[in-house]
Amino acid sequence: MRPDSLRYAVVGHPVAHSLSPRIQRAFAAQFGMAIDYTTLDVTAGSFVEAVAAFFATGGRGLNITVPHKRAALAVADACSAAAARAGVANVLAVDVDGGLIAHNTDGSGLLRDLEQRMARPLAASAVLLLGAGGAACGVAGPLLDAGIASLTVVNRSPAPAQRLVERLRDPRARAQPWAALPRLPRFDLLINATSAGVLGQRLLLPDGLVDSDSLACDLAYGEAARPFLRWGHGAGARTADGLGMLVETAAESFAIWHGRQPQTAPVLQMLRTENQPSA
């Protein structure tokens, strides 16, 4: 390993499945750059040590995934406003003085993707957010900033949803227990920010939460998103997976590290073509 080489990586556990290396190399190719971008499989107990070693040996930037998003904020010397508000970070970068800066691009990435998919403006929408983990914390504040009418947060365990709403300090946000789902009205936008699909677990959702004017969006993609998208489709809603968000958040981390904004559409198209289910 050359200490002077500029290295980037995604750190998580597990992380072998991550599309981030593919995406970041495709962005770099748009500018004729060759980057060294790998995966780092690191358990929670080794995270601080692994981050220190990475940046001490030429590391310039990390994408952060489960289970390290909270620890990534704690390990940084400073953080962006979005990361401070979310309480979790998904990007680490080195600043001019050599300090570590934590960022959160989940919310802005989701918003950019949604703006291209929503037939109606996000502003004034009634939004249901399922889940209160790292991804939900990252997207909740930016959704409110986009002018939505209301944000209802529903989580399997009530305490994280309550904490998320308290942190938001916004009268448009409220938490509801999972058992209240059948009594809730329809929503313009339903975001599944649970990891049920990734864990191979089924969400039991009432059909009345969405209709043909709604968008049902899973932050997961591929096989993990399929049961939720099938439910949304069955309930009459338009549906979207999280692949677009993944590419948009990755583009923002690329811009943070390299000061250049890559094109996302061709990279999303490439991933969709590569990941088409075989007949």
If phi > 0 it is left, if psi is from -120 to 50 it is alpha, else beta; for residue 34 that is beta
How near is the Cβ of 77 to ligand NDP at its closest, in Å?
Answer: 23
Compute the distance between CA of residue 209 and CA of residue 58 in angstroms, rounded to an integer. Answer: 49
Task: Reply yes or no: is the peptide bond before residue 185 cis, omega within 30 of 0.
Answer: no
Q: Residue 56 or residue 263: which is nearer to ligand NDP going by CB?
A: 263
How near is the Cβ of 61 to ligand NDP at its closest, in Å?
Answer: 17
255 near ligand NDP, judged by CB under 6 A: no
Only one of the segments 73-81, 140-148, 166-174, 194-202 lies at the binding site for ligand NDP (rule: CB under 6 A); that segment is 194-202
Compute the distance between CA of residue 200 and CA of residue 233 in angstroms, rounded to an integer. Answer: 19
**Interface characters, 14-53, with ligand NDP (x: CB under 6 A):** ----------------------------------------
Among 253, 244, 230, 245, CA closest to 272:
244
Binding-site member from 220, 235, 267, 271 for ligand NDP (CB under 6 A)? 220
Q: What are phi and psi of 137, to 5 degrees?
A: -65, -35
Binding-site member from 195, 256, 270, 272 for ligand NDP (CB under 6 A)? 195
Residues 61 and 94: beta-carbon distance below 8 Å: yes
Q: Which of residues 130-169 bind ligand NDP (CB under 6 A)?
A: 131-136, 155-157, 160
Compute the distance between CA of residue 276 and CA of residue 279 in angstroms, rounded to an integer. Answer: 9
Tell me the residue nearest to ligand NDP as measured from the CB. 133
199 near ligand NDP, judged by CB under 6 A: yes
Residue 103 designated active-site: no
HSE-CB for 61 with a 13 A CA cutoff: 24
219 near ligand NDP, judged by CB under 6 A: yes
Please tell me which residue in 7, 60, 68, 69 is annotated as part of the active site.
69
108 near ligand NDP, judged by CB under 6 A: no
Compute the distance between CA of residue 66 and CA of residue 13 in angstroms, rounded to an integer. Answer: 6
Residues contacting residue 49 through CB under 8 Å, at least 6 positions apart: none
* Tokens coding 213: 């004017």
- Contact residues toward ligand NDP (CB under 6 A) are 66, 106, 131-136, 155-157, 160, 193-199, 201, 203, 219-220, 224, 242, 245-246, 249
Q: Which residues are catalytic?
A: 69
